[in-house]
C-alpha cells in the first residue's frame, strides 16, 4: 500500500564548483508513527545523467531536529558521498544553512504587528496572526480545538507566540 506524502520540501545545495544537488524530502505516516524520506539527485549537466540516492528516518512520536528533515537530509548526504568526507561535511554545512528558518520568526512577528493596523476587532486580529504564522513558519500546528477557544484565550496564546518570535536570536 502506498503511503501519502505530506510536508514535501526540496533543498537545492550548490557546491563551490557550481554543481547542483537537489534533495526532495517528505513525510509519511506509518502504523507506529511516521517517517521522513529523502531522494538526493546529483545532476551532471555535462553528461546529462542523474544519480539518485535514497534515505529514511523513522520516528515513534516526534523528532529532536533543529529543522524539519535535518536527520534524513544528513543521512542521504552521508549515503551518497560515502567516504568523501570533505564533500559530506561541505554539503551538510550547506544543508544546515538552508534548514535554519529562525530568521523567519522576527519577520512573522513584524507582519503580525502590522496586522493590528489592518484589523478592526480582536477576532480578525487573531485570525490574521494565525494565518501569518501558518504561512510563514513551516511545520507549525495549532490545537484541534483552536476554533472552539474563546477569543481571549486565542489572544493570550498568540501574544506569547509573537513575544517568543520577537526574542528569537
- Which among 8, 10, 7, 11 is positioned nearest to 97, based on CA atoms? 11
Can you say how many angstroms the Cα of residue 22 is from the centroid of all Cα atoms in its chain?
16
* 95 and 111 within one domain: no
Distance between CA 48 and CA 156 in Å, rounded? Answer: 55
Here the cell at position 142 is 495549532
* 92 and 121 within one domain: no
* 68 and 11 within one domain: yes
Segments forming the whole domain that contains residue 76: 6-99
- Which among 73, 79, 81, 91 is positioned nearest to 36, based on CA atoms? 73
* 48 and 30 within one domain: yes
User: Of 66, 99, 132, which residue is a domain's last?
Assistant: 99
* 36 and 63 within one domain: yes
Q: Using one digit for the tens of pLDDT, what is the confidence trace for 55-94?
A: 999 998 877 787 788 899 899 999 998 888 888 888 888 8
Here the cell at position 77 is 548526504
Q: Give the pLDDT of the chain (169 residues) as one tens digit per residue.
A: 567 888 888 888 876 666 778 899 999 998 888 999 999 988 777 777 788 899 999 998 877 787 788 899 899 999 998 888 888 888 888 887 776 666 678 788 888 888 888 899 999 999 999 999 888 876 678 888 999 999 999 999 999 988 888 876 4
* 31 and 81 within one domain: yes
Amino acid at each position: 500500500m502506498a503511503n501519502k506524502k505530506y510536508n514535501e520540501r526540496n533543498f537545492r545545495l550548490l557546491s563551490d564548483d557550481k554543481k547542483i544537488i537537489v534533495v526532495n524530502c517528505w513525510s509519511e505516516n506509518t502504523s507506529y508513527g511516521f517517517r521522513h524520506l529523502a531522494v538526493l539527485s546529483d545532476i551532471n549537466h555535462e553528461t546529462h545523467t542523474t544519480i539518485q540516492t535514497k534515505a529514511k528516518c523513522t520516528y515513534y512520536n516526534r523528532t529532536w531536529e533543529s529543522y524539519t528533515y535535518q536527520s534524513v537530509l544528513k543521512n542521504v548526504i552521508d549515503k551518497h558521498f560515502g567516504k568523501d568526507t570533505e564533500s559530506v561535511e561541505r554539503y551538510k554545512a550547506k544543508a544546515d544553512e538552508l534548514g535554519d528558518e529562525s530568521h523567519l520568526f522576527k519577520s512573522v512577528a513584524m507582519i503580525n504587528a502590522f496586522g493590528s493596523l489592518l484589523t478592526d476587532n480582536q477576532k480578525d486580529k487573531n485570525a490574521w496572526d494565525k494565518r501569518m504564522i501558518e504561512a510563514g513558519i513551516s511545520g507549525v500546528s495549532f490545537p484541534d480545538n483552536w476554533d472552539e477557544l474563546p477569543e481571549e484565550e486565542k489572544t493570550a496564546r498568540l501574544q506569547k507566540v509573537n513575544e517568543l518570535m520577537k526574542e528569537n536570536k
